[in-house]
Amino acid sequence: MSKQAHFPHAAELRRIPPPWGSGALCVLGIWAGFPNDILQLPPLVLLWPVALALLGLAARDGKNAVRRGWLATLAGGMAALYWLALPLHNVGGLPLFLAVPCALFVVACVSSTGGIFSLVAYTLRWQPPWILALILGCFWYLLELGAALMLGFPWLTLGGALAAWPLLVQAADTTGAYALAGLWSTAALWCCFGFVRFSAIKNTLTCLVSGLGLTILLLACGAWKLHADPLAEAQGPQSFDVLFVEGNVDQNQKWVPAFQRQTVDLYLGLTFAALEQKPHLRPLIIWPETALPFYFETNQLHSPRVRQLASSSQSPLLLGAPGTERRHGQKNPDVYNRAFLLGPDGSTVAHYDKEHLVPFGEYLPSWLDWHFLEALLQGVGVYKKGRATAPLRQGNLALGMLICYEGIFPWLAQARVADGANVLVDISNDGWFADTPAPRQHLYLTALRALEQNRWILRGTNTGISAVVDTRGRLVMSGGQFRAQALWARAQTQNVPSLFHRLSPWLPFAALALLLILTIVSRQGATSPHPQPPG
């Protein structure tokens, strides 16, 4: 018996929205699910995979499915990531007529996953709805993971939206954020197919009950874990004090040599004033990414003043500044986006060089290395990738360093913990995002690493949002934005790895095996003979 005879045709779909309706749901899910300028409702992000599946199921052919899924995701992505042109222009130095197309190009590449997902839904439209939802949920996990590895910009992920409500993401300590997104997608698709998939009442009840059951299970898991580990300030022998200093330095003035002294005076003044309020404490002082706009190792005017701060306060100081390294036979030294750790005596204990650089801002992609663009793009950063990833150690602290958007990559945090980090630190300069939703999107994406790795996260920024995230992904402390300020907090070290940290290498293979099994089982069911009803 053929698939067409055994499974309902796509025309038998009932109560399915028209393509424009599903496209609108997709845009709404992306925009309202992620932090935006008006109101965020994280669960609405689940409309995204649901809408893409409906677009694929109702498509005329594969090309139509790809086009619908890609355009719907592109529209939603542009609404959520409109701010991308700002850092390319303000920091990367690209003129607007190049920054806007580059931003659109990035969103278009990210949106290709929407077209692929709709195509898979179209291709598998003959599958029984219960199995189809499970396959699509599993595929969503692999699609997010694959896109993160290949495209290098895993910003629009379901977990990044859901993390704003910690209740929704507690299972990430076992599954990781990407696999958890697959589970939530499966639950949403089961519920959807219970209403709009096929007219058979058996399929309706099976999908609806399964979707509601998985939703309840994920919520119950979240509630139980949050109840078992209530929100509280860090205490005990593993806890320590932290002092975040936000300079709120104007990006347009930051790199002007005449403002170097003013910048150093600002950070020193804020730090000394905060330390005077609690003279008995010896906190870990954190200044943000490139807080010092000069080469820290070689500067003889301002660097000694910064070292004096650490020695006079008897406190370790973590700060961001450009670093250099001269190689044999090389005329100009290599430049790095570097984090320095100064000990309580003011000496440099260790440093970390950012390994995942921002295209257009910190380096120029090779595909734009054209002669006629040399004069136009001469301001684009020339940083080199770092290689050493060992934790920065001071006393009982082993700081796993992440700089700026390195916090959104799960495998970087995984590597830091594998190297022995007992706390994760992300220093960032979100000033290049201006007053947009980007800093909040960045914060919640980074917070997922705390759950995945069972490590507290210390996040220090120039313009906000500085925060402390506990191992359950909750904001123990978070500051405001666009104010020069110093913020006190407490955190604690953790040495026990999460279950996800152990399972992480095997989860993609398990998902691939599940996809293979489901595909084989469904094909056998589709081609096996079935008895004809009597009469």
The pLDDT of 100-118, averaged and rounded, is 92
320 found inside a domain: yes
Which pLDDT value is given to residue 365? 54
Q: What is the pLDDT of residue 2?
A: 42
Same domain, 197 and 308: no
Q: What is the pLDDT of residue 520?
A: 81
Same domain, 152 and 255: no
pLDDT digits (tens, 9 = 90+) for 259-288: 889 999 999 999 999 999 999 999 999 999
535 inside domain: no
Is there a single domain that holds both residue 456 and residue 476? yes
Does the structure show a pLDDT above 70 at 38? yes
Residues 187 and 202: their CA atoms lie apart, in Å, by 18
Q: Assess if residue 264 is contained within a domain.
A: yes
Residue 534 lies in a domain: no
Same domain? For 479 and 459 the reply is: yes
Kindly state whether residue 445 falls inside one of the protein's structural domains.
yes
Type of residue at 501: H
**Of 20, 51, 46, the residue nearest 33 (C-alpha):** 46
Q: Are residues 133 and 251 in the same domain?
A: no
Residues 214 and 323 in one domain: no
Residue 133 lies in a domain: yes
Q: What is the CATH number of the domain that holds 426?
A: 3.60.110.10
Does the structure show a pLDDT above 60 at 154? Answer: yes
Q: What is the pLDDT of residue 473?
A: 97
Of 94-103, 146-155, 515-524, give the lowest mean pLDDT range.
Answer: 515-524
**Helices assigned H by DSSP within 229-289:** 251-254, 260-277
pLDDT at 331: 79
Measured between alpha carbons, how far is 29 from 44 in angstroms, rounded to an integer? 5
Residues 214 and 309 in one domain: no
Give the CA angle between residues 282, 477, 254 to the nearest 5°: 75
The C-alpha atoms of residue 227 and residue 207 are separated, in whole angstroms, by 30
Whether 44 shows a pLDDT value over 70: the answer reads: yes
- 150 shares a domain with 7: yes
Query: Helix, strand or coil for residue 457?
Result: strand
Residue range 376-394: average pLDDT?
Answer: 73
Q: Are residues 176 and 69 in the same domain?
A: yes
Q: Answer yes or no: is 158 within a domain.
A: yes
User: For position 535, what pLDDT does the model report?
Assistant: 34
State the total domains in the chain.
2
Same domain, 284 and 389: yes
Question: Of 190-199, 230-239, 313-322, 432-441, which one has max mean pLDDT?
Answer: 313-322
Confidence band of 359 (pLDDT split at 50, 70, 90): low
Cβ(144)–Cβ(178) under 8 Å? Answer: yes
Query: In this structure, are 267 and 321 located in the same domain?
Result: yes
- Both 218 and 255 in one domain: the answer is no
CA dist., res. 529 & res. 232, Å (int): 61
* Short-list 183, 9, 134, CA closest to 518: 134
- Per-residue confidence (pLDDT) for residue 202, from 0 to 100: 54
Q: Is residue 234 situated within a structural domain? A: no
Query: Which residue's entry shows tokens 């190009």?
Result: 105
Structural domain containing residue 175: 3-228+506-527
Examine the pLDDT at 136 and tell me if it is beyond 90.
yes
For tokens 């197919």, name the residue: 193
pLDDT(380) > 60: no
How far, in whole angstroms, is CA 111 from its chain's centroid? 16
Which pLDDT score is estimated for 15?
61
pTM over the 0.85 mark:
yes
Query: Confidence band (pLDDT; 50, 70, 90) for 88?
Result: confident
Say if residues 100 and 86 touch (Cβ distance below 8 Å): no
pLDDT tens profile 452-507: 999 999 999 999 899 999 999 999 999 999 999 999 999 999 999 999 999 999 99
